[in-house]
Amino acid sequence: MPDALGEDASEILDMIAAQMKVIEVARLKKSCRCCEKMVQLPAPSRPIPGCMAGPGLLAYILVSKFDDHLPLYRLNEIFARMAPISPIVFRRPILGLTQSR
């Protein structure tokens, strides 16, 4: 086999589409036989209490809205196309922000 004399390298720019996933957190409930109380581990903390969006989704929304100037209703349409869950979830405002068209 002949020795290599060099190599030619080329670059290809490609885009990997954003993915949205649902992270399910299961917390066991246990009962104490002595005091007859239910105990459960606390839920993991969220960036915005009561909000279903995780930190990555919030960062994406904020950059899209304030840096890319993308209206929230357009983001809602984008999420509805790529969502692994029902689009009904996105009828609730994720950030608590309201925006008029």
Domain assignment present for residue 24? The answer is no
Range of the domain at 100: 51-101
Domain assignment present for residue 43? The answer is no
pLDDT at res. 3? 75
Three-state DSSP state, 62: helix
Domain assignment present for residue 80? The answer is yes
**76 exposed, middle or buried (CB, 10 Å; 0-12, 13-18, 19+)?**
middle
Residues 6+ apart with CB under 8 A from 52: 89, 94
Domain assignment present for residue 1? The answer is no
Contact 47, 60 (CB under 8 A): no
Report how many domains make up the chain: 1
Domain assignment present for residue 92? The answer is yes
Domain assignment present for residue 79? The answer is yes
Q: Is the pLDDT of residue 101 over 70?
A: no
Q: Is the pLDDT of residue 69 over 70?
A: yes
Over residues 65-87, mean pLDDT: 80
